[in-house]
Amino acid sequence: MGDIREYVTGIARAAKKASATLRTLSAEAKNAALASMAAAIDERRAAVIEANARDLEKGRRAGLSKPVLDRLALTDARIDGLVASLSEIAAFEDPVGEVLGVRRPAGFVLEKVRTPIGVVAMIYESRPNVTVDAAALCLKSGNAAILRGGSEAFESSMALVGAIRAGLAAAGIDGDAVQYVERTDYEAIDLLVTQTGLVDLVIPRGGEALIRRVVEKATVPVIKHYKGVCHLYVDESADLAMAAGVVANSKVQRPATCNALETLLVHEAVAAEFLPMAKAAMPTVELRGDEKSRAILPGIAEASEEDWYAEYLDLVLAVKVVADLPEAVAHIERYGSSHTDGIIARDAAAIERFVAAVDSAVVMVNASTRLSDGGVFGLGAEIGISTDKLHARGPMGLRELTTYKWVVRGNGDLRR
């Protein structure tokens, strides 16, 4: 592992060096670099599509499923999308330098100022657009980016990173502001996440196995979510027509996402009326119920213990009838993933009890779980979702890629 160790440490060192410059760049310089990156991707469009064709061909031979190949494909329209997203990111306000607070606790002035984190490593799977978005969000927030995408998208990502680095160089910025780990093995990841003192943050995105491995190995701080087992609880006070609409939207609008609904909890006082309404609102969804819900909807399958933990990412929904709000909260506490959980209710007291008791990153009140999203929240763009409690919780945007420093401005002030 000698030379791979050197290779990864070399990348981390170069990133740290680049980050010292990025830290002091003006918003104008960063936006010019983003424009230059966009121009370079536009210019190399044909080469990117060619590289992507090689990935697709390899993927087809490897027997990747059609949805995976679809996500992997870069068309002209998708490259237009990547170019447009760079302009969007340039238009966001620069988070760096924002003064978060000024106080005068003693003689001196104490400022808390927003700064870049430094070096951010992104480890992700398959979709090549993540390569561009992650590079751009890191640059805009003044961070050096180390990217390590999925092996299925290797050629595409390399072509995109080549364009990005050419764009950076054209804008007079150290190309090492964005680097790509050209190794598809796990050893490279294990080494990357232990670069204490060089890498400041690791964001893994992808399957639970990848994320658990990163967490096990890392000595550098990690922000992640393992999975999204999202719940909605329909209270006895709910507007049932609204509830059916919100539940159906949460489940079917895009079932493969981490904020899609996975388990429906229904108060027993309204279950007999509500469950048939819910079923009718999402006829394509396979329901798996507990005994009480199967008594109301006899046709549905039986939910096993595993169903309560399941992140289906598909048109399947677990359903349980609960005796009251505390039982719903206890179920979410036990089986949930602290991602996004909600209540449908009219009773204000029930709503506040639920909001206070449910310890999730996002708590929805009479709203679709699918709204749990950085873009929808107006955070700018989303670089990931955190179910951790440290630093960032829920959708992470540009600000969540920053930290702060304290600046003390004195006049010879001493400690007595």
Judged by the rule CB under 8 A, the positions of this chain that interact with a copy of itself are: 20, 23-24, 103, 105-106, 108, 110, 115, 117-118, 196, 200-201, 215-216, 219, 221-223, 239, 242, 245-246, 249, 253-254, 333, 342, 355-357, 359-368, 370-373, 376-378, 388-391, 393-395, 403-416
Distance between CA atoms of residues 279 and 294, nearest Å: 12
Tokens, residue 145: 């980016």
Are residues 385 and 360 in contact, defined by beta-carbon separation less than 8 angstroms?
A: no
- Sign of the Cα pseudo-torsion (247, 250, 255, 261, in order): negative
**Closer by beta carbon to a copy of itself, 79 or else 322:** 322
Residue 300 or 355: which CB sits closer to a copy of itself?
355
Give the C-alpha separation, 148 to 174, whole Å. 19
Smaller CB separation from a copy of itself, 226 or 312: 226
User: Least distance to a copy of itself from the beta carbon of 155, Å?
Assistant: 33
Q: Nearest approach, Cβ of 332 to a copy of itself (angstroms)?
A: 11
DSSP summary character for residue 360: -
Cα dihedral across residues 380, 386, 389, 391: positive or negative: negative
For residues 362 and 394, give the distance between their C-alpha atoms in angstroms, rounded to a whole number: 6
In 3D space, the residue among 153, 156, 157, 127 whose CA is nearest the CA of residue 145 turns out to be 157
Q: Which residues lie closer than 8 Å to 304 by C-beta, 6 or more apart?
A: 288
Tokens of 87: 């302009």
CA-nearest of 134, 140, 52, 139 to 92 is 140
Least distance (Å) from a copy of itself to the CB of residue 361?
6
Tokens of 175: 């190309």
Quick one: which of 87, 94, 172 has its CA closest to 132? 87
Rounded to the nearest whole angstrom, what is the least distance from the CB of residue 147 to a copy of itself in the complex?
19
CB 348 to a copy of itself: min, Å: 11
As measured in angstroms, the least distance from the Cβ of 378 to a copy of itself is 4
Minimum CB–partner distance for residue 73 and a copy of itself (Å)? 24
Residues counted in the chain:
416
6 backbone dihedrals φ, ψ, rounded to 5°: -60, -40
Beta pairing partners, 290? none
Residue nearer to a copy of itself on the CB measure, 242 or 300: 242
Q: Which is nearer to a copy of itself, 132 or 328 (CB)?
A: 328
Q: Which is nearer to a copy of itself, 236 or 388 (CB)?
A: 388
Shortest Cβ distance from residue 397 to a copy of itself (Å)?
12
Q: How many Å apart are CA 275 and CA 292, to the nearest integer?
A: 11
Output 76 or 413, the one with its CB closest to a copy of itself. 413
Nearer to a copy of itself, 95 or 289 (CB): 95
Nearer residue to a copy of itself within complex by CB, 154 or 312:
312
Rounded to the nearest whole angstrom, what is the least distance from the CB of residue 381 to a copy of itself in the complex? 14
From start to end of 160-303, where are the E strands?
A: 178-180, 201-204, 230-234, 261-267, 286-289, 301-302
